[in-house]
Amino acid sequence: MIEISQLSKKYRTGKIGFQPFTYQVPLGQCVALLGGNGAGKSTFLKLLTNNIRPTTGQVNWGEDQFAYMPDDLEFPANLTAIEAIKLLGTLKKVDSKKCNSLLKEVGLYEVRNERINTYSKGMKQRLSFVQTLLSDEKVLLLDEPTNGLDPYWVKWLKNRLLEEKSKGKTIVFSTHTLSFVEELADEVLFFYEGKVILQDNVKSLLQESRSLEDVIVEKIEKLIMKKD
């Protein structure tokens, strides 16, 4: 297990980014982070990756290493895709053959010599996903990986993540696309105002309704009304 113990974040302004949370990430499974914009999903992922320091608590990774795909990775604008990926490949001790193979897989090989600042949002997103696969880590942390992707690439990404999951990898990702969650995730965590207010198994939720959207909306409405 990846053990999260009383993890929280409070900013100097007094704003609470994430309220204390304890959780064990099930190894070899997929966990979806749901909730509106500003609910705390990205803050949670940044705490897991130590991109921001927690106010309380800690994350025990054991011997596992992770690869992280942020919501909007800023590649150096003056570099081409192949230059950026080969530079990262060198740092991660990955040969150029794998770099080229991954660029082909995400449909960017033919435009590998074009500068990244000419790429669309979807192209940059696919390039960002490539960098998470370079070193073949056991854990993938993905912040809104479907952002900017058209339906073809959303489907491709789902199948690619299912393939990674079949290898025993652990995947934690945030998204607003519930159909993506239904086909990929084992568990869901729903965030509201920096707090996890729902934690459940996807199969259990789907037994209650044909649609994950319907059952989650109903549960969240009840929880929020109770809170108010």
Task: Quote the mean pLDDT of the chain.
Answer: 91
* Unique residue bearing structure tokens 């705490």: 47
CATH fold of the domain at 2-65+137-227? Rossmann fold (3.40.50)
pLDDT surpasses 80 at 172? yes
Q: What is the pLDDT of residue 209?
A: 67
Q: Which two tokens stand for residue 33?
A: 């982070």
Q: What's the CA gap between 119 and 108, in Å, rounded? A: 10
Task: Say how far apart CA 127 and CA 135 lie, in whole Å.
Answer: 14
Find the range with the poorest average confidence among 38-42, 63-67, 68-72, 198-202.
Answer: 63-67
Give the pLDDT confidence score for residue 227 in this predicted structure.
60
For residue 41, pLDDT beyond 70: yes
Domain boundaries, the chain: 2-65+137-227, 73-136
Q: Could you tell me what percent of the chain has a pLDDT over 90?
A: 68
Identify the band that residue 16 occupies on the pLDDT scale cut at 50, 70 and 90: confident
Interval 85-102: pLDDT, tens: 999 999 999 999 999 999
